[in-house]
Amino acid sequence: MAITNMPKTAAIDNAAQISRSLARAFDDDPMMRWFFPDDSSREASLGSYFTTIFTRQYVHNGVCEFTGDAAAFWVAPEAQAKAVPDEETVQELRNLLGDRAGLFGEAVELAAEHTPQDPHWYLAVIGADPAAQGQGQGAALLRSGLAKGDAAGLPVCLESSKASNIPFYEHFGFTVRGELRLPGGGPPLWSMRREPRRPADA
Q: Does 202 fall in a domain?
A: no
Residue 110, burial from CB neighbour count under 10 angstroms (0-12, 13-18, 19+):
middle
Mean pLDDT taken over the chain: 92
pLDDT band at residue 3 under the 50/70/90 scheme: low
Q: Does 186 fall in a domain?
A: yes
Quote the domain boundaries for residue 146.
3-194
Enter the pTM of the model: 0.92
**Which tens digit of pLDDT belongs to each residue from 26-47?**
999 999 999 999 999 999 999 9
Q: Rounded CA gap, 147 and 140, in Å?
A: 11
Q: Does 86 fall in a domain?
A: yes
**Domain at 156, CATH number:** 3.40.630.30
Q: Rounded CA gap, 129 and 59, in Å?
A: 20
The per-residue pLDDT for 88 is 87
Q: Does 200 fall in a domain?
A: no
Domains in the chain: how many in total? 1
Instruction: Give the length of the chain.
Output: 202
Phi, psi of 127 (to 5 degrees): -170, 155
